[in-house]
Amino acid sequence: MNRAAVTEKILSAKRLKKLTWKTICAEIGGGSPTYVTAGLLGQMKLRPEQAERAAKLLGLGEEETLLLQEVPYRGSLPTAVPTDPLIYRFYELVNVYGTTWKELIQEEFGDGIMSAIDFDMTIERLPDQKGDRVKVTMSGKFLTYKEY
């Protein structure tokens, strides 16, 4: 058994039980929907109580439940440049606006980075008469480079 196989089993159970990520995250609880979904997709680890609730909801066995609690090997994209159109748009945003984000963040905060570990993200649907919009809000702790 490996983590990729657990992810496939989770996706299959979600499909067969006609569950949404929103429903799954509410049942599992104990973390943001982004974090819990990432955990179920193999990019984060779940706490034991979260893993147990996920196992019950999704019909996972003991080894699969333990795998949900292990620190994963992160990075799930199969290629350096993503080919999925939705994921590619985020790649495109970084290519077009990455240097702008870097300049504006470092002008405001100094020489450092935004943490992807101490990090929150929400995804919202914004109704619009021209077509609904996707709002992604990211908030990461600023980490200053230190001189030694």
Catalytic residue among 8, 63, 92, 103: 92
**What is the rounded distance in angstroms from the CA atom of residue 6 to the CA atom of residue 42?**
8
The active-site residue out of 12, 63, 89, 139 is: 89
Catalytic residue among 32, 76, 115, 139: 115
Whether 115 is catalytic is yes
Active site includes 92?
Answer: yes
Locate 6 and state its tokens: 């657990």
Rounded to an integer, what distance in angstroms lies between the CA atom of residue 70 and that of residue 51? 10
Give the DSSP H/E element, type plus range, for residue 120: strand 112-126
d(CA 27, CA 88): 31
Which residues are tagged catalytic?
89, 92, 115
